[in-house]
Structure 1
């Protein structure tokens, strides 16, 4: 049996699973429990060689998870943005999540990577190559002092918002069908955050940012524009997906998009209850490649943070996705670009090596 194609992934929420069950983190990390999408055995089986590990602070919700799932499975829907979260609430949670990532590094199976050289070295050594990413910048605070602390701890990728407002800008609500043009752009503090991230070579993630905020980042940033886990609005008109105009701006900046496996952002009808086969994923890949070129598209799974297609199931199913791409007519060189080479090249452009 040949080894699976190595995958470097644009987004996962595995740290959130560890946060919710810290007493069992050893089992969650090193054993295939059949829960969630990621653990070390399934990563190995699927060729999952690394990716962006998100620090994400959950919002208190007015409805339970079952109600949220019911709404997402029955479009049309338009959920209101959750209330903002203060730095005092976000910081302890974010610190706990980074603590879990550093513990994972101490197990010897994972390396926290600060450069593309670190990523290549970890992959060559058979360790999971982890990039510390922040999804929503509430743990930083408006004076940006904490940004430098987080950078020293290894932060190399940051999304100014999740799908809620912050002192930096406004996220898109979960809505279908909907344009991503849903509110105001970056605040003055948000514009300062972009400039400081540029100075520190922290990659800025546009996923979850509304259209006016996207345009503000594009006008200010001197780095490639990147959406780590977003799809094509032309195929699935969700507020979370990118219009062709936005894709053209990403292309012109020599940026990149990681394709999100969340079924509600893949399905043309916006259904969040899954679908049979691979057709919606293939349609998004085709459209993104048509709009961006084959050097600016990768994977952005949202593993452990979304409902993924039944055909994929979890990280161990990545070879089935690769086989579907091959059967769709993508050759070996393009598949390797989509699987990991494009992400490494993008990070070299963003970080400078």
Structure 2
């Protein structure tokens, strides 16, 4: 039986390709060793997702799933502008060179067309907007190039707001929220039809967005704070606010955001992911939960080594009694419903 089609809320492939000096994405097509490759996607039913641009700081380098993160210093804006452009160009080149296998998509209609053609549907996302200035000129350019989602901050502060540090156990209420520039950024994203991702924004910033937007509140890759009190996870109060807007959470696969002890240790059973899904569904409803793997950017369970292993998670859902209709919504339909309301 073929693997069901999966649309995923977050991966860090572009950052990893950039760090490896592969500015044309050739290793993606040739079977790179990592979570996301063409072969792994084909094997696991990975049919599309958010492809993130992430600019490393002076010490971070490539996303390191083994690292124990805490808080990070702001980075050079000049550096961020250059690297953001370079990573965006990687996806543009990949899509142009091999539209039969991967396509940059700007709408749900284009995502569904890519799926029908057997190509991976790639939605361009920026994770931390250091590469965008306060005047938002770069936002206009990136939107024209295909950007349809962004997180104002990664887990470090910038001109738009305050990123939530990586701490456990701790509250996401870690400091001030959006700056005036951040509020202008959110307003312009709403006008353009760009999704605003709350995954790395601290709690004050979350409530700033909630007060000013009429769009659904979305975290592309988080988990339940009630089950794992990491700062990156969503509290029940946040989840309830998201449900009121018809929002959505993509379940993060990172073990440090799922395990009760918050430790980056890969021996975690599938039941722990199901427990988070159960909690998220209870708070958000069956239409408010999807997947947000963070592949190529975090440590996942030992049985979930790459996109090729996604059928094991699906099997876990089936074993937990999830019906076929709910599984289809979690894997694909809920992201499509949400994106249709935000980007069109």
Bin of the TM-score, shorter chain as denominator length: over 0.9
**Per the alignment, in what secondary structure is the counterpart of residue 176 of structure 1?**
coil
Determine if contact 1:10/1:258 at 8 Å carries over to the other structure: yes
Residue in 2 aligned with 1:331? 323
Query: Matched residues in 2 for 1:85 and 1:70: separation?
Result: 19
The equivalent residue for 2:34 is 36
Q: In structure 2, what is the Cα distance between the partners aligned to 1:53 and 1:151?
A: 14
- Tell whether the 8 Å contact from 2:17 to 2:25 is kept in structure 1 after alignment: no
Partner SS state of residue 19, structure 1 = helix
Residue matched to 1:250: 242
Larger mean CA deviation between 207-216 and 87-96 belongs to: 87-96
Aligned to 1:102: 92
SS of the aligned residue for 2:7 comes to strand
CA distance in 1, matches of 2:226, 2:106: 35
Give SS of 1:344's match: helix
Question: For residue 285 of structure 2, what is the aligned residue in structure 1?
Answer: 293
Whether 1:85 aligns to 2:83 is no
| 1-structure distance, mates of 2:60, 2:126 | 24
Distance (whole Å) between structure 1 residues aligned to residue 52 and residue 209 of structure 2? 20
Q: Does the CA-based 8 Å contact 1:232-1:242 persist in structure 2?
A: yes
Specify which of 269, 272, 282 is matched with residue 277 of structure 1. 269
Is the 1:61–1:82 contact (alpha carbons within 8 Å) kept by the matching residues of 2? no
Query: What is the rounded CA distance, in whole Å, between the counterparts of 1:284 and 1:21 in structure 2?
Result: 33
1:128–1:290 Cα change, 3 Å: same
Structure 1 CA distance for aligned equivalents of residues 279 and 260 of structure 2: 13
Distance 1:137 1:15 in 2: 15
Superposition map of 1:1-353 within 5 A: 2-23=1-22, 27-33=26-32, 35-61=33-59, 69=66, 71=68, 79=70, 81-106=71-96, 107-108=98-99, 109-351=101-343, 353=344
* TM-score in terms of structure 2 length: 0.96
Q: What is the CA-CA distance between 1:276 and the residue it aligns to?
A: 3.5
SS in 2 for 1:196: helix
In the comparison of the two structures, how many residue pairs are matched? Answer: 342
C-alpha spacing 1:324/1:29, structure 2 compared with 1 (3 Å): same
Going from structure 1 to structure 2, the CA distance change for 1:219 and 1:143 (only over 3 Å counts) comes to: same
SS of the residue 1:274 aligns to = coil
SS of structure 2 residue aligned to 1:229: strand
Q: 2: CA distance between counterparts of 1:226 and 1:63? A: 27
Structure 1 residues 127 and 63: alpha-carbon distance in aligned structure 2, compared to 1, 3 A threshold: closer
Query: Per-residue deviation at 1:86?
Result: 3.5
Q: Does structure 2 conserve the Cα–Cα contact (< 8 Å) formed by 1:90 and 1:139?
A: yes
Mind listing any 5+ residue stretches in structure 2 that lack a counterpart? none
- Are the structure 2 counterparts of residues 325 and 62 from structure 1 closer, same or farther at C-alpha, using a change threshold of 3 Å? closer
Q: Displacement of 1:168 after TM fit?
A: 0.4
Q: What's the offset of the Cα at 1:120?
A: 0.4
Shift of 1:326: 0.3
CA distance in 1, matches of 2:63, 2:339: 35
Say if 1:267 and 1:275, in contact at 8 Å, map to a contact too.
Answer: no
TM-score (structure 1 length as normaliser): 0.93
